[in-house]
Amino acid sequence: MPVSPYIKSTMTSKSAGVIRKMFEEGLELKKKYGEDKVFDFSIGNPDLEPPEEVFQCIQKLAADRSKNCHGYMPNAGYPSVRAAMAMKTQAEQGVPVGADCVVMSVGAAGALNALFKAIISEGDKVLVSAPFFTEYRHYVKNYGGTLVEVPAREDFSLDVEALAAAMDEHTAAVLINSPNNPTGRIYSEQQIKELAGAMELHARKCGRKPYLVCDEPYRAIAYDGKTVPPVFPVYDSAVVVTSFAKNLSLPGERIGYICVNPACPDRDEVVAACIFTTRILGYVNAPAFFQRVAAETWNAKVDYSLYRERRDLIMEILDEAGIEHIVPEGAFYMWCKAPSVFKGDDMAFCDYLKKYNILSAPGSGFGGKGWIRLAYCVSKESIKNSRAAFVKAVKDLEEAK
């Protein structure tokens, strides 16, 4: 008795876990009203099933009874799995990557925690372009750091000048997430180069070189021919973290990895530190069975065109209802502006939509006040069914004026 005062105050704060709360409320509402009567856009739980290759691989490996196949392996993961992830990263980044650059992790969230524990000291800062994935605040704070929110430009691209201006000797890292959760924005090659240039310049003046941390779980989910530009060729102290939650639809299985740029000046030390923090944070290792699944199936693909269809459908509905939104280039989130009657109070807009059984996530939690996030990784049927609810919600608003 009692729990830590910090945890108590954080967990009961208004914005704490509002997405998770919505998700768990959604489960209750569905029990009450029926699955098809609740339009749950609260959480990034992919609705597309894992690819056929993944299911087949799971069945194949389930028959394996080789010695120690569910036992401990080195904390960094199976050597063969690290090698497979290196090959994957090499294909994405366009530079040679060795297995010794990779540390397997408990999802991308576990990867970020292990990495931040490794590189953040008390008082350090991590810069992030806002809006951003709400959990980053905790992941940085856990290790005595502060997440510094640097507002994106009006089109939600990076404001490189503002990021550069925010860098100082306490800056341990700049964190980017592309395609971005919650905006769906992909940062262009030009922007990545400008950011890298600004970081190099800062490093020369300041003497401390921040890591560029790229959280990329949505890399494979990009629309309209867009691709996510590589970072390794343009900045040496870069680290990619990612998972198989979104592209293989395995979020519950907690498989991800950290890959440090082979050109990183202190590469071996960072890798060793991440292996060490994986151990001492109690992850110990990424789950054995699904490490092997990921190694065999990383190149499999869900039919992402189905997410594009969902995107297009919800855009059509929002346009019909008259809710302003941006056009996502990747991921599966729709970033929508709260109607002016809410005067920028996104939480109130979310609460209002809940009355129509529409579950969404308030933007304030993402550092995006006045906006809400709709996760459209839900069935097309559910999106279709939500049309009337959205239209009525906005119409009722106007009638109440």
Which residues 41-80 are close enough to bind a second copy by CB under 8 A?
Answer: 43, 45-47, 49-50, 55, 58-59, 61-63, 65, 67-68, 70-75
Of 136 and 335, CB closest to a second copy: 136
Instruction: Tell me, by CB under 8 A, how many residues bind a second copy.
Output: 86
One residue of 91, 95, 201, 280 binding a second copy per CB under 8 A? 280
Q: Is 14 in the site for a second copy (CB under 8 A)?
A: no
Judged by CB under 8 A, the residue of 9, 121, 190, 340 near a second copy is 121
- The whole-angstrom separation of Cα 101 and Cα 258 is 8
What is the DSSP-derived secondary structure letter of residue 370? T
For a second copy, the closer CB: 8 or 301: 8
Near a second copy in 245-274, by CB under 8 A: 249-254, 264-266, 269-270, 272-273
**Cα–Cα distance measured from residue 257 to residue 92, given in angstroms and rounded to the nearest whole number:** 14
Point out which span in 19-27, 95-103, 190-198, 309-317 binds a second copy (CB under 8 A).
19-27
- Of residues 191 through 250, those in contact with a second copy by CB under 8 A are 208-209, 211, 237, 249-250
Q: Is 123 in the site for a second copy (CB under 8 A)?
A: no
Measured between alpha carbons, how far is 243 from 143 in angstroms, rounded to an integer? 22
Do the Cβ atoms of 397 and 59 come closer than 8 Å? no
Query: Which residues ranging from 283 to 322 are in contact with a second copy (CB under 8 A)?
Result: 283-290
How many whole angstroms separate alpha carbon 95 and alpha carbon 350?
44
Residues 352, 255: Cα–Cα separation, whole Å = 36
Which listed range, 5-13, 188-196, 227-235, 319-327, lies at the site for a second copy (CB under 8 A)?
Answer: 5-13
Pairing mode of beta strands 256-260, 102-105: antiparallel
Give the phi and the psi of residue 169 in degrees, each rounded to 5. Answer: -70, -10
Amino acid at 183: T
* Of the residues 30, 170, 193, 279, which one makes contact with a second copy according to CB under 8 A: 279
Q: Tokens 């008795």 correspond to what residue? A: 1
Contact at 8 Å (CB) between 324 and 180? no
